[in-house]
């Protein structure tokens, strides 16, 4: 299609750039898969291996059993192996994630051993060239060499000079420090058995198979209140939110979202929101990073890390959900170029995008509401600056729920939670106050054109509220009965008309409702039983993983069940976004009937050097940034709506989907 010129050129560029490395990479994939298969088929009693991500064979996780008759005996030590694309011609890199005190392991965990050194690098007098890497080596020889290194450190070539000096001069203190890094004790035979059982268990259990789910289903169905026994309960109730009768008029089915590019796929996670400064676009990610989008790549601006956690820790869902890691959601720039990022676990960060330095401007542990409570689930924000006083700014923010935290957001929706609030914070007086309460999952915010009104997305009720700043405590409904749950709301670039883009979690109409979001809403007993069951199943597996300390895969598996992460792709079958005018009338819509681009949090419109309009598509959970590119007519620089674009390119509805599918969807 002529409206998507970047799609083909971008793909061609990638093919050219990757062509020279493809043969090496294919060879490495084959060899690594073979070595992994052999180690799983015939496990080694001294260590176990697995992939960190099943889709990436170049990153392995290794659990080493401390060798007998050494200081490390009985300990379990976790490490990562990162393989290059030209493996086995070049060696991998190995880093311990467990705390290690050893002369040949750096303080950051990097392993310094001859077998992992490239033979072409400088050889020192105490190190023979033949001891270095050769393509005949395998993962097994690497790990066994590292285990041997644990038993027999080389103090002549230390990666940790302090450990080497301590080992020479004060052996007792060295031994004490080594022992503090050990995990719990298991015999190697027990460890090997558990490894095998764990791998077999993940292959066979499934989410709804076996006896455990059925037993828990019976328990959850008959217990009137699980709060006392399990510390939680689902207060499901009957509700019915109106859906559009059909997709017609401005909601006519198309495939704009299905044709979107997916940028940085599997390199990032959860690009929730976007903001622009000086012609550059910035995004917030689930692992705590703020990134700047570049032409073919991205740059990390800063890593929000208020509790000094590693990026590796914060990339894991179950780690970041504990609140130790920041999770920036909404983004806004001030008129002076300071970036403000709202984080549900900590508060609001003020960020200098040039230096990457940041400070916690609103601290939920420090800044309390008049009743002494603190916010629980901060989501989005808008800034109202005082032109006469640089020190004074009002920040309005949504507090999505007083019951559920961010990682339990699915229960906020499933329970039809109505404990959300609109809050405000005065930067001069440092006062936090409640503007509105009893809201059904208040989410995205935006100021209107003349900055007199805040538009607020109410996710659970699928509507948009209008909050006038001159009438505190009051609101009216701007839009009701949206074709999906509205997440963020952002102003379009249309200068001729005040319009807003709204990302929807999943689109649907009266003829094709969602079983999980609409049908189950009418059967609270069924919904309560279902939610209780998955929460307890997940809790069981997650805590088994935590008790075993070293199996992140099992912990992550249980966590994804407990917080219903596995439900997102099941529920979000249909991608959709809408554009509304200032009167709340829907004037345009974007669709992905096949669900290729769904679970949208935001549609952010950006003009790129006057040549193209980009529509960046954010998501709470997707592992990519979506982008639609539309060329700007050189003869006429005026803003054209999507309706104008459809007419200009004479795109018929038949080109978006088959007649049968369109009838079925509409």
CA distance 661 to 655: 12
Spans of all domains in the chain: 24-200, 205-234+515-572, 263-504+594-640
Tell the CATH superfamily of the 263-504+594-640 domain. TolB, C-terminal domain (2.120.10.30)
DSSP characters over 124-135: -TTS-GGGS--T
Q: What angle do CA 389, 391, 397 make, to 5 degrees?
A: 110
The neighbour count for residue 315, using CB atoms within 10 Å, is 18
**What's the rounded Cα separation, in Å, for the pair 249 and 236?**
35
Edge-to-edge strand list for the sheet holding 393-399:
378-385, 393-399, 420-426, 431-439
pLDDT of residue 24: 63
Q: Which residues contact 489 (CB under 8 A, 6 or more apart)?
A: 444, 445, 446, 455, 457, 464, 500, 501, 502
DSSP one-letter string for 518-546: IIGGG-HHHHHHHHHHHHHHHHHHHHHHH
Gap between the Cα atoms of 581 and 497, Å rounded: 7
> Residue 68: what pLDDT?
75
Please tell me the predicted confidence (pLDDT) of residue 9: 44
* Neighbouring-strand partners of residue 280: 277
Residue 312 in contact with residue 367, Cβ under 8 Å?
no
Whether 343 and 349 have beta carbons less than 8 Å apart is answered as yes
Mean pLDDT by runs of 10 across the 666 residues of the chain is 40 43 73 88 84 87 84 84 91 91 91 83 48 85 90 85 89 82 47 51 49 62 62 75 88 94 92 97 96 92 88 70 82 97 97 96 93 93 90 94 92 92 96 96 96 97 96 94 96 93 95 87 84 84 72 78 88 95 96 95 89 92 94 59 52 40 43
Question: What whole-number distance in Å separates Cα of residue 289 and Cα of residue 131?
Answer: 40
pLDDT at 222: 63
Per DSSP, helices labelled H in 356-476 are 409-414
Q: Which are the contacts of 608, defined by CB distance < 8 A and separation ≥ 6?
A: 614
Q: In sequence order, which residues have a C-beta less than 8 Å from that of residue 635 and are 6 or more positions away?
A: none
Contacts of range 524-529, beta carbons closer than 8 Å, 24 or more positions apart: 524/236, 524/237, 524/238, 525/236, 527/234, 527/236, 527/414, 528/220, 528/234, 528/235, 528/236, 529/217, 529/220, 529/221
Whether 112 sits among the annotated catalytic residues: the reply is: yes
Joined tokens for residue 180: 């503090």
The encoded tokens of residue 310 equal 């590693």
The CA-to-CA distance between both ends of the chain, in Å, stands at: 24
Single out the catalytic residue among 112, 314, 325, 657: 112
Contact residues for 53 (Cβ-Cβ < 8 A; gap 6+): 59, 266
- pLDDT the model gives residue 58: 92
Q: Is the peptide bond before 146 cis (omega within 30 degrees of 0)?
A: no
Contact (Cβ atoms closer than 8 angstroms) between residue 97 and residue 79: yes
Radius of gyration of the chain (CA): 27
The pLDDT value given to residue 213: 59
Q: Is 632 helix (H, G, I), strand (E, B) or coil?
A: coil
Q: What span, in angstroms and rounded, lies between the C-alpha atoms of 292 and 333? A: 14
Beta carbons of 130 and 115 less than 8 angstroms apart: no
Helix (H) or strand (E) holding 34: helix 5-41
Token look-up 């010129």 returns 5
DSSP percent split of the chain into helix, strand, coil, nearest 5:
30, 25, 45
Integer Cα distance of 557 and 396 in angstroms: 36
CB 405 within 8 A of CB 344: yes
- Please tell me the distance from the alpha carbon of residue 408 to that of residue 377, in angstroms, as a whole number: 10
Cα–Cα distance measured from residue 620 to residue 297, given in angstroms and rounded to the nearest whole number: 20
Q: Are 94 and 79 in contact (CB under 8 A)?
A: yes
Pick the CATH number of 24-200 from 3.40.50.1000, 3.10.110.10, 3.30.460.80, 3.40.640.10: 3.10.110.10
Q: How far apart are CA 372 and CA 218, in angstroms?
A: 40
Q: What is the pLDDT of residue 27?
A: 84
Reported as type and span, the H/E element at residue 603 is strand 600-608
The one-character DSSP state at 44 is B
SS3 478: strand
CB 562 within 8 A of CB 555: no
Whether the full predicted model's pTM is greater than 0.85, yes or no, is: no
> Which pLDDT score, from 0 to 100, does residue 65 have?
84
Q: Which pLDDT does position 575 carry in this prediction?
A: 96
- Which residue, 131, 132, 129, 137, is CA-closest to 88? 137
> What number of helices (H) and strands (E) belong to the chain?
16, 28
> What CA–CA distance (Å, rounded) separates 277 from 126?
55
Residues facing 399 on adjacent strands: 378, 421
């Amino acid at each position: 299609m002529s409206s998507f010129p970047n799609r083909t050129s971008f793909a061609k560029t990638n093919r050219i750039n990757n062509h020279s490395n493809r043969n090496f990479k294919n060879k490495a994939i084959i060899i690594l898969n073979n070595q992994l298969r052999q180690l799983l088929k015939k496990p080694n009693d001294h260590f176990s291996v697995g992939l960190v991500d099943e889709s990436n064979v170049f990153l392995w996780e290794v659990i080493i059993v401390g060798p007998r008759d050494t200081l490390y005996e009985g300990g379990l030590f976790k490490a990562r192996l990162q393989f290059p694309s030209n493996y086995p011609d070049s060696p991998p890199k190995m880093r311990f994630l467990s705390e290690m005190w050893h002369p040949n392991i750096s303080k950051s965990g990097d392993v310094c051993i001859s077998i992992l050194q490239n033979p072409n690098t400088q050889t020192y007098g105490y190190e023979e060239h033949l001891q270095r890497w050769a393509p005949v080596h395998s993962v097994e020889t690497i790990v066994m060499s590292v285990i041997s290194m644990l038993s027999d450190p080389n103090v002549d070539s230390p990666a940790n000079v302090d450990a080497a000096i301590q080992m020479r001069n004060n052996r007792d203190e060295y031994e004490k420090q080594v022992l503090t890094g050990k995990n719990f004790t298991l015999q190697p035979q027990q460890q090997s058995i558990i490894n095998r059982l764990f791998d077999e268990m993940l292959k066979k259990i499934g989410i709804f198979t076996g006896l455990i789910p059925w037993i828990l289903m019976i328990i959850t169905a008959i217990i009137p209140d699980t709060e006392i026994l399990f510390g939680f309960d689902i207060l499901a109730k009957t509700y019915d939110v109106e859906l559009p009768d059909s997709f017609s008029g401005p909601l006519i089915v198309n495939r704009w979202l299905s044709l979107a590019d997916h940028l940085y796929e599997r390199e990032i996670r959860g690009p929730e929101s976007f903001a622009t400064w000086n012609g550059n676009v910035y995004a917030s990610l689930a692992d705590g990073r703020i990134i700047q989008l570049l032409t073919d790549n991205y740059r990390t601006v800063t890593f929000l890390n208020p509790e000094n956690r590693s990026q590796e820790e914060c990339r894991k869902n179950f780690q970041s959900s504990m609140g130790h890691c920041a999770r920036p959601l909404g983004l806004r720039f001030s008129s002076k170029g300071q970036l403000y990022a709202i984080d549900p676990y900590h508060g609001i960060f003020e960020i200098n995008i040039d230096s990457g330095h940041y400070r916690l401007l609103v601290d939920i542990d420090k800044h309390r509401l008049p009743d002494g409570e603190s916010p629980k689930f901060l989501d989005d924000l808008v800034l109202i600056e005082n032109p006469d006083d640089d020190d004074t700014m009002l920040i309005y923010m949504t507090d999505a729920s007083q019951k559920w935290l961010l990682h339990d957001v699915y229960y906020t929706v499933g329970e039809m939670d109505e404990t959300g609030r609109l809050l405000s914070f005065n930067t001069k007086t440092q006062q936090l106050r409640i503007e509105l309460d009893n809201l059904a999952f208040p989410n995205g915010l935006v100021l209107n054109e003349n900055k007199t009104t805040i538009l607020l997305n109410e996710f659970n009720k699928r509507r948009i509220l209008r909050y006038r700043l001159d009438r505190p405590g009051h609101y009216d409904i701007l839009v009701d009965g949206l074709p999906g749950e509205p997440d963020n709301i952002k102003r379009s670039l249309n200068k001729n008309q005040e319009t807003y883009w709204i990302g929807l979690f999943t689109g649907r109409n009266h003829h094709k409702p969602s079983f999980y979001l609409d049908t189950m809403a009418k059967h609270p007993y069924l919904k309560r039983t279902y939610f209780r069951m998955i929460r307890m199943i997940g809790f069981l597996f997650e805590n088994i993983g935590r008790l075993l300390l070293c199996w992140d895969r099992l912990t992550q598996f249980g966590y994804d069940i407990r917080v219903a992460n596995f439900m997102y792709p099941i529920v979000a079958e249909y991608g959709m976004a809408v554009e509304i005018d200032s009167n709340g009338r829907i004037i345009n819509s974007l669709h992905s009937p096949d669900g290729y681009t769904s679970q949208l949090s935001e549609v952010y419109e950006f003009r790129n050097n006057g040549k193209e309009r980009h529509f960046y598509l954010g998501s709470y959970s997707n592992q990519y940034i979506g982008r639609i590119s539309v060329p700007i007519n050189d003869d006429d620089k005026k803003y054209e709506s999507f309706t104008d674009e459809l007419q200009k390119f004479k795109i018929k509805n038949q080109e978006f989907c088959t007649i049968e599918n369109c009838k079925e969807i509409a």
